[in-house]
């Protein structure tokens, strides 16, 4: 029997090859690659292979087993989160502050409140061993309030809406919501590991503020260094910055993914032609590390849990709440900003995509013991379902919109690509 490094290499070949093949198959059918990559983990995990050929399934690593491939998956997770933050254009966020504040507030707080309320009445079978009812409710609220910038960006690009007012507001608002969600994740994670109390809640916020200030102070230096360096050294520097941020967050008692997100603001300081290092690093992460992480995340999924009628009904109810919360929140925030109704609906539809970010939140919750495997499976299924909904909902909104509203405030694609080139080359996650 293989052990050690040979076993790790075999596991890596099987998981990566399966994820890439099924990811490409999903893209051929017009779906995000995340669907196929997660499906690879489901097929190799307890839901399918574990039941059809348990002896073969035993060769694959189990999540939480400390296997080497777990470390590879975690590296992919940290770099993906850091690159998500690197996509943010802070200048654009400042320029649209009023509209972004209203859209972000409605689209964040409404699903957050609905998710937290549902957490107080959800079946006890979903509560992890380290969670009480209040903690579970808070975590469920955070899980339902996040938005996936990479999925949104790819969808808007495919529909030629990235330069439209809808695309601009949706991307920027999603960035604001995710930034707030990382803060909430840090607080809930700290309470789960250190207990309650004002100090436990206050310290994560304080450390996050310190890390954010350091990141903003380092951006001018990073812009100069990354813009002048060759591509390979710049890629390495960006990766080191993101991993260092994750390490600093862990030492401060925060979730490493939170530190990776903050450090990504530094790694993304060089924009325009100076951002070529992001393109190279993103290619490596999206092509190799992301499929490993997503397939490994799929190994957590045991769809047999949905055979329980209580769990299945809860999954359907939470999916309905998640969709209604984002659609209504985005719509109300946009309408109160004076945006026409079908554009407002399109903004809500775009923000409804949760994709990779919600899977990250679910993974952290399972590791901390806040979620059970059944709860984890429900949240991942919501992430996939909402990502699949975005393209048809956006198409439907613009098909119903009057011609003048459909035209909107479209910027020329050449101008958009020149000012924000990274937004046109995201992974479809």
Write the pLDDT tens digit of every residue in 137-150. 999 999 999 887 76
Distance between CA atoms of residues 187 and 379, nearest Å? 20
Mean pLDDT over each residue of the chain, to the nearest integer: 81
pLDDT at residue 189, rounded to an integer: 79
Q: Is residue 163's pLDDT more than 80?
A: no
Q: What percentage of the chain reaches a pLDDT higher than 70?
A: 83
- Angle, vertex CA 415, rays to CA 394 and CA 221, nearest 5: 105
Task: Give CA torsion, residues 15, 16, 21, 22, to 10 deg.
Answer: 50
Provide the greatest CA pair distance for the chain: 67
pLDDT at residue 425, rounded to an integer: 39
Helix axes 276-284, 68-86, angle to 10 degrees: 150
Distance between CA atoms of residues 90 and 224, nearest Å? 17
Collapsed DSSP state (helix, strand, coil) of residue 127: strand
pLDDT at residue 116, rounded to an integer: 94
pLDDT at residue 275, rounded to an integer: 66
pLDDT at residue 421, rounded to an integer: 38
pLDDT at residue 53, rounded to an integer: 84
Lowest mean pLDDT segment, chosen from 197-211, 342-356, 396-410:
396-410
Q: What is the pLDDT of residues 45-79, one digit of tens each?
A: 887 888 888 877 777 776 556 668 888 888 988 89
The residues pairing with 127 across neighbouring beta strands, listed in sequence order, are 371
CA proximity to 144, closest of 396, 352, 356, 349: 352
Mean pLDDT of all residues in 259-263: 87
Mean pLDDT of all residues in 384-403: 79
Q: What is the pLDDT of residues 69-118, one digit of tens each?
A: 888 888 988 898 888 778 766 776 676 778 888 998 999 999 999 999 99
Integer Rg of the chain from CA: 21
Q: Work out the number of other CB atoms within 10 angstroms of the CB of residue 209.
A: 11
For residues 411 and 328, which has the higher predicted lDDT (pLDDT)?
328
Q: Is residue 410's pLDDT more than 60?
A: no
DSSP H helices, 285-340, are: 290-298, 309-335
CA proximity to 135, closest of 382, 368, 298, 347: 368
Q: Is residue 7's pLDDT more than 70?
A: yes
């Amino acid at each position: 029997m293989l052990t050690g490094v040979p076993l790790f290499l075999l596991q890596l070949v099987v998981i990566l090859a399966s994820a890439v093949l099924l990811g490409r198959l999903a893209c051929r059918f017009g779906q995000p690659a995340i669907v196929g990559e997660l499906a690879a983990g489901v097929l190799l995990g307890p839901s399918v292979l574990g039941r059809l050929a348990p002896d073969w399934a035993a060769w694959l690593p189990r999540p939480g087993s400390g296997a080497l491939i777990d470390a590879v998956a975690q590296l992919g997770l940290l770099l993906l989160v850091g690159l998500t933050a690197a996509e943010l254009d802070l200048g654009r966020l400042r320029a649209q502050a009023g509209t972004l504040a209203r859209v972000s507030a409605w689209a964040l707080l409404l699903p957050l409140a609905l998710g937290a309320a549902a957490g107080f009445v959800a079946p006890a079978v979903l509560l992890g061993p380290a969670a009480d009812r209040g903690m579970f409710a808070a975590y469920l609220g955070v899980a339902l309030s996040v938005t996936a910038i990479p999925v949104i960006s790819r969808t808007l690009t495919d529909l030629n809406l990235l330069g439209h007012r809808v695309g601009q507001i949706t991307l920027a608002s999603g960035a604001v919501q995710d930034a707030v969600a990382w803060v909430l994740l840090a607080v809930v994670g700290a309470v789960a590991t250190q207990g309650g109390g004002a100090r436990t809640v206050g310290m994560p916020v304080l450390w996050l503020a310190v890390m954010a200030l350091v990141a903003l102070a380092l951006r001018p230096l990073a812009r100069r260094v990354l813009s002048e360096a060759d591509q390979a050294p710049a890629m390495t520097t960006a990766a080191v910055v993101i991993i260092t941020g994750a390490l600093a967050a862990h030492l401060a008692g925060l979730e490493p993914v939170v530190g990776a997100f903050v450090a990504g603001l530094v790694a993304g300081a060089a924009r325009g032609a100076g951002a070529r290092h992001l393109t190279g690093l993103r290619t490596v992460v999206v092509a190799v590390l992301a499929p490993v992480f997503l397939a490994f995340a799929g190994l957590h999924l045991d769809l047999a849990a949905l055979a329980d009628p209580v769990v299945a009904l809860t999954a359907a109810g939470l999916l309905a709440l998640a969709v209604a919360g984002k659609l209504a929140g985005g719509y109300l925030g946009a309408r109160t900003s004076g945006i026409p109704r079908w554009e407002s609906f399109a903004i809500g539809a775009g923000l409804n995509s949760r994709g990779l970010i919600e899977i990250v939140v679910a993974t952290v919750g399972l590791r901390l013991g806040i979620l059970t495997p059944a709860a984890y499976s429900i949240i991942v299924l919501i992430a996939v379902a909402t990502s699949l909904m975005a393209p048809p909902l956006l198409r439907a909104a613009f098909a119903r919109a009057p011609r003048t509203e459909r035209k909107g405030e479209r910027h020329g694609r050449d101008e958009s690509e020149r000012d924000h080139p990274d937004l046109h080359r995201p992974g479809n996650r």
